[in-house]
Structure 1
Amino acid sequence: MGALFHIEGVPIGITSVVLALIASMGGFIFGYDTGQISDILLMPDFLLRFADCSSGATLENASSSCSFTDVRSGLIVALLSIGTLAGALLGAPIADFLGRRYAMVVECGVFIVGVIVQITSTRVWQQFAVGRLVSGLGVGALSAAVPMYQAETAPAQIRGSLTATYQLFITFGILIAYCISIGTRGFDGPSSWQTVVGIGIAWPIILSVGILFMPESPRWLVFHDKPELALRSIARVHGITSEEARGHPLPNKHLAEIQNNVEFERQFVAQSGWLDCFRPQKKVLYRTLLGMSLQSLQQLTGANYFFYYGATVFQSVGISDSFVTQIILGAVNFGCTFGGILIMEKFGRRGPLIIGGIWQSLWLFVFAAAGTAKVPQDNPGIGKLMIVAACLFILGYAMTWAPGIWILIGETFPTRTRAKQASLATASNWIWNFLLAFFTPFIINAIDFRYGFVFASCNLLGAVVVYFFLYESSDLSLEAVDMMYNDPACKPWTSGKWAPAGYSSRKDIEEQGKAAQALKEFAPVEDSRVEHTGKDNTTREGKIEGLNGAPYSMAPQAA
Structure 2
Amino acid sequence: MFFRIHGMRISGVAIMLALVASIGGFIFGYDTGQISDILIMNDFKLRFATCQNAGDASTCEFSVVRAGLIVSLLSIGTLVGALAGAPLADFLGRRYAMVVDCIIFCIGVIIQISSTTSWVQFAIGRLISGLGVGALSCAVPMYQAETAPPELRGTLTATYQLFITFGILVAYCISIGTRNIPSGGSWRTVVGIGFLWPVLLSVGILFMPESPRWLAAHHRNKEAQHSLARSAGVPIDQEETDVYVQNELDEIVKSVQSQNQTRATWTDCFRPPRKILYRTCLGITLQSFQQLTGANYFFYYGATIFSSVGISDPFITQIILGVVNFVCTFGGLYVMERFGRRIPLILGGVWQAIWLFVFASAGTAKVPQDNPNIGKLMIVSACLFILGFATTWAPGIWILIGETFPTRTRAKQGALATSANWTWNFLIAFFTPFIDKAIQFRYGFVFAACNLTAAVVVYFFLYESAHLPLESVDDMYNDPQCKPWTSRRWCPPGYTNREEFLETMSKKSRRPLPGQATLNDHKGQKNRDQEDTTSSGSSGPMDGTTGDTATNAAA
Among 80, 100, 112, the alignment partner of 1:86 is 80
Aligned-pair CA distance for 1:457: 0.2
Identity percentage of aligned residues:
66
1:275 maps onto 2:267 in alignment: yes
- Distance, in Å, in 2 between the alignment partners of 1:382 and 1:359 is 20
Q: What residue is the counterpart of 1:514 in the other structure?
A: 507
- Distance, in Å, in 2 between the alignment partners of 1:315 and 1:218 is 50
**Structure 1 unmatched ranges of 5 or more:** 529-537, 541-554
Q: What residue is the counterpart of 1:531 in the other structure?
A: none
Aligned-pair CA distance for 1:156: 0.4
1:374 maps onto 2:369 in alignment: no
Aligned-partner residue type, residue 131 of structure 1: G
Q: What residue is the counterpart of 1:25 in the other structure?
A: 23
Among 202, 206, 216, the alignment partner of 1:222 is 216
- Distance, in Å, in 1 between the alignment partners of 2:312 and 2:150 is 48
Aligned-partner residue type, residue 507 of structure 2: K
Counterparts of 1:2-401 in structure 2, within 5 Å, are: 2-7=1-6, 9-55=7-53, 57-58=54-55, 61-62=56-57, 64-266=58-260, 271-401=263-393
1:524 maps onto 2:527 in alignment: yes
Q: What residue is the counterpart of 2:545 in the other structure?
A: none
Q: What residue is the counterpart of 1:544 in the other structure?
A: none
Any conservation in 2 of the 1:370–1:382 contact (CA below 8 Å)?
yes
- Distance, in Å, in 1 between the alignment partners of 2:39 and 2:434 is 16
1:449 maps onto 2:448 in alignment: no
- Distance, in Å, in 1 between the alignment partners of 2:379 and 2:472 is 43
Aligned-pair CA distance for 1:239: 1.4
- Distance, in Å, in 1 between the alignment partners of 2:173 and 2:307 is 18
Q: What residue is the counterpart of 1:504 in the other structure?
A: 496
Aligned-pair CA distance for 1:272: 1.8
Counterparts of 1:449-468 in structure 2, within 5 Å, are: 449-468=441-460
Aligned-pair CA distance for 1:22: 0.5
Among 415, 420, 428, the alignment partner of 1:428 is 420
Aligned-pair CA distance for 1:462: 0.6
1:488 maps onto 2:480 in alignment: yes
- Distance, in Å, in 2 between the alignment partners of 1:167 and 1:512 is 27
1:439 maps onto 2:431 in alignment: yes
Query: Which 4+ runs in 1 deviate beyond 6 A?
Result: 525-528
Any conservation in 2 of the 1:4–1:239 contact (CA below 8 Å)?
no
Name the SS of the counterpart of 2:2 in structure 1. Answer: coil
- Distance, in Å, in 2 between the alignment partners of 1:400 and 1:263 is 35
Aligned-pair CA distance for 1:190: 0.1
- Distance, in Å, in 1 between the alignment partners of 2:148 and 2:239 is 17
Any conservation in 2 of the 1:158–1:345 contact (CA below 8 Å)?
yes
Q: CA RMSD in A?
A: 1.7
Deviations 1:71-94 (A, max 9, x none): 000000000000000000001000
- Distance, in Å, in 1 between the alignment partners of 2:393 and 2:334 is 13
Name the SS of the counterpart of 2:525 in structure 1. Answer: coil
Q: What residue is the counterpart of 2:534 in the other structure?
A: none
- Distance, in Å, in 2 between the alignment partners of 1:415 and 1:10 is 25
Q: What residue is the counterpart of 1:404 in the other structure?
A: 396
Among 397, 402, 405, the alignment partner of 1:413 is 405
- Distance, in Å, in 2 between the alignment partners of 1:178 and 1:526 is 54
- Distance, in Å, in 2 between the alignment partners of 1:348 and 1:152 is 18
Aligned-partner residue type, residue 338 of structure 2: K
Deviations 1:535-554 (A, max 9, x none): xxx9x9xxxxxxxxxxxxxx
